[in-house]
């Protein structure tokens, strides 16, 4: 199974604290490194988790509140200083490009590597990246300023053919391709070996959705339907629902309601208000609605299976 | 003696590391808090040193290389989020205002407190702040982009009158003022009590100069002449003099040469390249030129006496 690993670099919100950094995650898939949001301090969080920033190929910025991107310009600059030459792909709100450019100009820094910026369009779901194994999409969330969620979806794998079948029938290349895609095998006598008898079915495609910052929004449910792991913000406990509504954030209970409606495999909570040092009450409240819930924290690593 | 304390929040250069943050210092004088430079991570360094960021009244930014200011927008935003209402005075290169404004606009954040921005003029020495006890000036350094040093100079204190003199002669208010300013006291019989006999002389005015980033530059010597504590960058050891020249930085030996020419009281080295984890060789090399040299490091606190 292709490695598909989530590293939580920051699970807090708003203001950095000594016990929790604001939003940042590293998603690794098959040797590709995607950085999702990049709060101040993300560079040091990467160092703490012994991840080389040089390996990051793509950076996704959900929106332009500082707790999601104030570490980006520093990371871009550091990669330049330590000698990066490979292109870096950045996806984010269009204004982000102006913010980066202005700061590079002020420093009279001309980057040693290509910075490829892709502005996100408001209000639509769009594919940002795709290869033979995985697809990455951005979709709109509901927040005080334009904000995007991100969905990584694995493509269905091929059927793997049993070795003894190959040894016995020596099928032609085009026959192998057909069987891998799901075809049955017709013998010379006209009888048929059904596909399931001669192959191992691929595992179910896995997926990961990143939904922060967002107010409670059922609009996203069809987009993230059946997602393997859903990261959903849980800024407040439910007794502060009015605060959540007022600030376009969610409670942990609301995150669990979304996970249940979307039939998610696992719900991962995060983006906690700094008032919650102990996450247990917030987690328990969400688990009462959606049992398979976990509370992310800085340094947390999750294999997506 | 009025408290005059320097807190080193970051003594590294270029890239943040787990053992050393880039440039930032807090200078406390008589209840005034001046933040000098504000690299990424400065907020957390303040928390580690148990300094309330709310108490900072003035922020000085030497130049627009990221290792001196990438933490500023986060600090400004955090102060807003935690409820600051008092004005915050910022002094820095004019473009800094555009950079801050663009990011506040992108977040649709309207600060709860007045941000008073003062752009520094290139090439001239200018007074930024002054009260009855201290004067703060900015002066040009020599670097790849416009860069300013900062000089804090205490004003000469008043003479303190001996209590037994006051008890014996009950001088009038205006006479007290004159004596504090240095006047002698004339007795009724025409004889004179010299000022030194009836007062305690004020301590010598103290001063602090911040000089980073800069190439070796003798031009600054007259400006910082007789400074009590000189913080001067020492990015390289002297075997990398050519690197220093090429990058408009200084070696520790050059910093010591400047300290000697300026007749500084103490030289404090900083802004080290991340290659120097152990500072001892760099320090010893500088001490050979100017004995009263210390190596700053993150968390270092110095009372300026």
**Structural domains present in chain B:** 4-157+203-303 (3.60.15.10), 160-200 (no CATH)
Cβ–Cβ gap B98/A98 under 8 Å: no
How far apart, in whole angstroms, are the C-alpha atoms of residue A195 and residue A30? 27
Question: Does the pLDDT value for residue A181 go beyond 90?
Answer: no
- Residue B251, φ and ψ in degrees, nearest 5: -95, 165
CB burial readout A211-249, b (16+ within 10 A) else e? bbbbbbbeebbebbeebbbbbbbbbbbbebeeebeebbb
Chain segment B18-46, per-residue pLDDT in tens: 999 999 999 999 999 999 999 999 999 99
Question: Of A103, A81, A44, A105, whose CA–CA distance to B273 is shortest?
Answer: A81
- Residue A106 is predicted with a pLDDT of 97
d(CA B48, CA A286): 33
B291/B259 Cα distance (integer angstroms): 10
| CA angle in degrees (0–180, nearest 5) for A29-A34-A218 | 95
Residue B108 to residue A146: CA distance in whole angstroms: 10
Least confident of A218-222, A275-279, B101-105, B188-192: B188-192
Q: B128 with B108: CB under 8 angstroms?
A: no
What does pLDDT average to over chain B?
A: 96
Question: Which candidate from B48, B64, B74 shows the least CB-CB separation from A40?
Answer: B74
Say if the Cβ atoms of A15 and B78 lie within 8 Å: yes
Residue B205 pLDDT > 90: yes
Q: Is B83 exposed, middle or buried (0-12, 13-18, 19+ CB in 10 A)?
A: exposed
Question: Residue B94: its chain A contacts at CB < 8 A?
Answer: none
pLDDT for residue A98 is more than 90: yes
**pLDDT at position A23 over 90:** yes
**pLDDT tens digits, one per residue of A227-274:** 999 999 999 999 999 999 999 999 999 999 999 999 999 999 999 999
Lowest mean pLDDT among A100-104, A149-153, A194-198: A194-198
Nearest CA in chain A to B67: A74
* Dist. CA B65–CA A41, nearest whole Å: 17
B157 — pLDDT class (breaks 50, 70, 90): confident
Q: What is the pLDDT averaged over residues A128-135?
A: 96
Say whether A188 is catalytic.
no
Of A37, A67, A213, A298, the catalytic one is A67
**Chain A interface mutation, best of B70, B92, B235, B247, highest count of A Cβ atoms under 10 Å:** B70
Mean pLDDT of all residues in A147-164: 94
Region B243-250 average pLDDT: 98
Residue A1 has pLDDT above 90, yes or no: no
Q: What is the pLDDT of residue B181?
A: 87
Distance from the Cα of B296 to chain A's closest Cα (Å) equals 21
Q: Which residues of B touch A (CB under 8 A)?
A: 14-18, 40-41, 43-44, 47-48, 64-66, 70-71, 73-74, 77-78, 81-82, 93, 95-96, 98-99, 102-103, 106-108, 144-145
Of A15, A44, A144, the CB nearest to B16: A44
The overall average pLDDT reported for chain A is 96
Q: Tokens for A199?
A: 């192959």
Would you call B78 and A106 a contact, using CB atoms and an 8 Å cutoff? no
The pLDDT of residue B150: 98
Torsion sign (Cα): A183, A206, A89, A250: positive
Tokens coding B303? 């009372």
User: Each residue of A211-229: pLDDT tens digit?
Assistant: 999 999 999 999 999 999 9
Question: Is the model's pLDDT at A157 over the cut of 90?
Answer: no
Q: What is the pLDDT at residue A224?
A: 98
Which residues of B are the active-site residues? 67
Whole-number pLDDT of residue B1: 87
Question: From start to end of A87-228, where are the E strands?
Answer: 88-92, 115-119, 126-130, 134-140, 148-154, 160-161, 185-186, 192-193, 199-200, 207-211
Q: Which residue has the tokens 């095998």?
A: A185
Per-residue pLDDT reduced to its tens digit, B66-124? 999 999 999 999 999 999 999 999 999 999 999 999 999 999 999 999 999 999 999 99
Determine the 3-state secondary structure of A20 from DSSP.
Answer: coil
pTM for the predicted model, two decimal places: 0.93
């Amino acid at each position: 199974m292709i490695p598909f690993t989530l590293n939580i670099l920051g699970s807090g919100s708003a203001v950095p604290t000594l016990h929790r950094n604001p939003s940042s995650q590293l998603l690794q898939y098959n040797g590709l490194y995607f950085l999702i949001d990049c709060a101040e301090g993300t560079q040091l969080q990467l160092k703490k988790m012994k991840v080389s920033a040089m390996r990051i190929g793509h950076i996704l910025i959900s929106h332009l509140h500082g707790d999601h991107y104030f570490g980006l310009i520093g990371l871009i600059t550091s990669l330049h200083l330590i000698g990066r030459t490979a292109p870096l792909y950045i996806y984010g709100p269009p204004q982000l490009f102006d913010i980066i450019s202005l700061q590079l100009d002020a420093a009279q820094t001309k980057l040693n590597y290509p910075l490829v910026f892709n502005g996100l369009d408001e209000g639509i779901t769009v594919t940002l990246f795709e290869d033979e194994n995985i697809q990455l999409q951005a979709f709109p969330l509901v927040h005080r300023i334009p904000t995007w969620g991100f969905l990584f979806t694995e493509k269905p794998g091929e059927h793997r053919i049993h070795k003894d079948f190959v040894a016995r029938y020596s099928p032609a290349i085009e026959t192998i391709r057909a069987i891998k895609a799901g075809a049955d095998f017709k013998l010379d006598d006209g009888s048929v070996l059904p596909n399931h008898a001669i192959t191992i079915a691929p595992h179910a495609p896995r997926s990961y959705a990143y939904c922060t910052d967002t107010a409670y929004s059922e609009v996203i449910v069809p987009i993230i339907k059946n997602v393997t792991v859903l990261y959903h913000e849980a800024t407040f406990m439910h007794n502060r629902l009015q605060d959540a509504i007022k600030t376009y954030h969610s409670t942990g209970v609301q995150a669990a309601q979304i996970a249940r409606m979307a039939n998610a495999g696992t719900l991962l909570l995060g983006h906690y208000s700094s008032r919650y040092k102990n996450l247990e009450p917030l987690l328990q409240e969400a688990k009462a609605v959606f049992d398979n819930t976990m509370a992310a924290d800085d340094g947390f690593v999750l294999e997506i299976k």
